[in-house]
Amino acid sequence: MIQRMLTSALVAGCAAWLLAVVLHFAFVQKYILLGEEYETGAAVHYAGVAPATDAVAEEAHSHDDAAAEAGHSHDGAEAAHDHGDGEEVSTFTRNLWTTVFFGLVYVAYALILVAGFGLARVYGKVVTAREGLLWGIAGFAAFQMVPAMGLAPELPGTLAADLGARQLWWWGTVAATVAALGLLGYGRSLVTAGLAIVLLALPHVIGAPELDGFSGVAPPEVAGAFSARVLGVGLAVWALMGWVAGLVWARDTGTLA
């Protein structure tokens, strides 16, 4: 059982890892970089509200003047070459750690998913590739979609409530959603269905931690596109992970479908 779980989790986690990396760099990374430009003041949204906006702009203007003045006494081509090398190294390091992070996260998610397969098997439930796909979509709902209804994916430059409070609410929401989906999927009475509905609603009745008002330096259009793409990528990756995990699990147990 343990070997089957590890095999399924590693294969599914690696498949999800590869897809997540490709989709992230294709659809999400550019919005993160754009958000960081607004956060540092390199780009300024005309409707952005930030107390230090004028100071940041003045500092950037002074920096540009100094750089232009220095350019008269240095070889421009050589300076550009040196800056390019440094930026290339920094970008490579950043992308490398992003890739490593995705690997750790999705292998861990796959282990949680396959642990659910094992629990279902104890209760006589058969998990195939088809059921694995549904489990993957349910995992996306529990870990990303439902929590995002209270805490949307945050673009750099977006202010947020206290980190500890947000983490507590996120974990509570995930636990409640997982339990609710399990009751809806495998419950056999109106009582379990009613309890599932209560669990689904409870985190949102309590409410996610939030600030007193809205603020940020990036345009809301950028933040909205970022959140939408993060959730879209998450759905695709979780669906693939669930399908692959179910396929490998079914092959190991001889119950292909």
Total number of domains constituting the chain: 1
Query: SS3 for the chain, per residue?
Result: CHHHHHHHHHHHHHHHHHHHHHHHHHHHHHHHHHHHHHHHCCCCCCCCECCCHHHHHHHHHHHHHHHHHHHCCCCHHHHHHHHHHHHHHHHHHHHHHHHHHHHHHHHHHHHHHHHHHHHHHHCCCCCCHHHHHHHHHHHHHHHHHHHHCCCCCCCCCECCCCHHHHHHHHHHHHHHHHHHHHHHHHCCCHHHHHHHHHHHHHHHHHCCCCCCCCCECCCHHHHHHHHHHHHHHHHHHHHHHHHHHHHHHHHHHCCCC
Range of the domain at 224: 2-58+104-160+211-253
pLDDT single digits (tens) 201-248: 999 999 999 887 766 777 888 889 999 999 999 999 999 999 999 999
Cβ contact 12:244 at 8 Å: yes
In a domain, 127, yes or no: yes
CB 9 within 8 A of CB 242: no
Structural domain includes residue 197: no
pLDDT at 82: 41
Residue 112, number of CB atoms within 10 A of its CB: 13
The reply to whether 131 falls in a domain is yes
Distance CA 181, CA 195 (A): 10
Residue 47 resides in a domain: yes
pLDDT value of residue 124: 82
Residue 196 lies in a domain: no
Per-residue model confidence as pLDDT tens digits over 5-56: 899 999 999 999 999 999 999 999 999 999 888 877 776 766 544 444 444 3
Residue 14 lies in a domain: yes
Examine residue 165 and state whether it is found in any structural domain, yes or no: no
Q: Please tell me the predicted confidence (pLDDT) of residue 77.
A: 36
More confident residue, 222 or 110: 110
